[in-house]
Amino acid sequence: MEYKNLGRSGLSVSRLCLGTMNFGPETDEPTSHAIMDRALDVGLNFFDTANRYGAPQHGRTEEIMGRWFAKGGGRREKVVLATKLYGEMSGFGDIPLWPNNKWLSALNIKRACDASLKRMQTDYIDLYQMHHIDRTTPWEEIWQAMEVLVQQGKIIYVGSSNFAGWHLVQAQQAAEKRNFMGLVSEQSFYNLVVRDIERELIPAAQHLGIGILPWSPLHAGMLGGVIKKVKEGKRRLEARSAETLEKLRPQVEKWEALCDTWGLLPGDVALAWLLHQPAVTAPIIGPRTMEQFDASLRALEIKLSDEQLKAINEIFPGCKTHPEHYAW
């Protein structure tokens, strides 16, 4: 397993991050535990979750992870644990339906962190991430609350998710005024199909020393050999997926044909492409089965040549950085 520092921090994380969103809704607890054990066996130390994962029972995924940590054997100590807060948690368990159980107020940051710690049966979170920008809470309040959690030893690093480039700059300016480290990572929707963050967010992140953690690296399976799988009866497309495929069909057909000429599986190449992007720390994989987890590991062995990267860009052109994207 290869490791890379998370942004400008000294924290070493594996080049793939285990996303746990399917644990609970799609993957039962024994299988979820087995996948996490397998991850540690191969040296994958970076796990990502969120307080709302596990729908319709929000928090269920964190609870599954908590029972896995409780098995001991150094599980918690080996894992770089990342979770997220932001969304509505009211009405779940003993959480009352009340207005301050969401967003990024100092009150909700405190409550959400304590609740996640309890569900995951741990004393600290390595990377505490804001799942979305909060346009109503001032940064002074957000950073004060995060500072308190750091001082209390409940969190170590702070990250963001689904931010814009100017949000990163805004956040870091406010953190610098407080002599606080601020953000070390940003989770973004990034894959060969959706490359919008190349315009502004990636340049901002690189300038600020913030590592990129791409989510949906296979674009909901569209980059994972979907056409071939449908023909072979290995996958059924729901209405939304079928509509997405029809929009992307010309590109996806070329994509699968190109990967065939290289003797490589499309999903492996799509992940490998992300690993070749200098701003990317670790793509987030979201396996439902052990087979899917093991398949993701193949991407670590693929080294794409300049010619191969050029061929990929001809199918999925990507974006230039602003202002070149629209002005030159």
**Positions marked catalytic:** 53
Rg (CA), the chain: 20
Q: Measuring CA to CA, which residue among 60, 158, 65 is closest to residue 109?
A: 158
| DSSP bridge partners of 155 | 125
Whether the CB-CB separation of 252 and 269 falls below 8 Å is answered with: no
φ, ψ of residue 213 to 5 degrees: the values are: -115, 95
Q: Is 104 left (phi over 0), alpha (psi -120 to 50) or beta?
A: alpha
Q: How far apart are CA 296 and CA 128, in angstroms?
A: 25
Residues 6+ apart with CB under 8 A from 67: 29, 33, 121
Q: How far apart are CA 105 and CA 86, in angstroms?
A: 9
Give the DSSP H/E element, type plus range, for residue 250: helix 239-262
Q: How far apart are CA 31 and CA 24, in angstroms?
A: 10
Which segments of the chain does DSSP mark as H helices, in order? Answer: 29-41, 60-69, 75-78, 106-120, 139-151, 165-177, 201-208, 226-231, 239-262, 266-275, 290-296, 306-315, 324-327
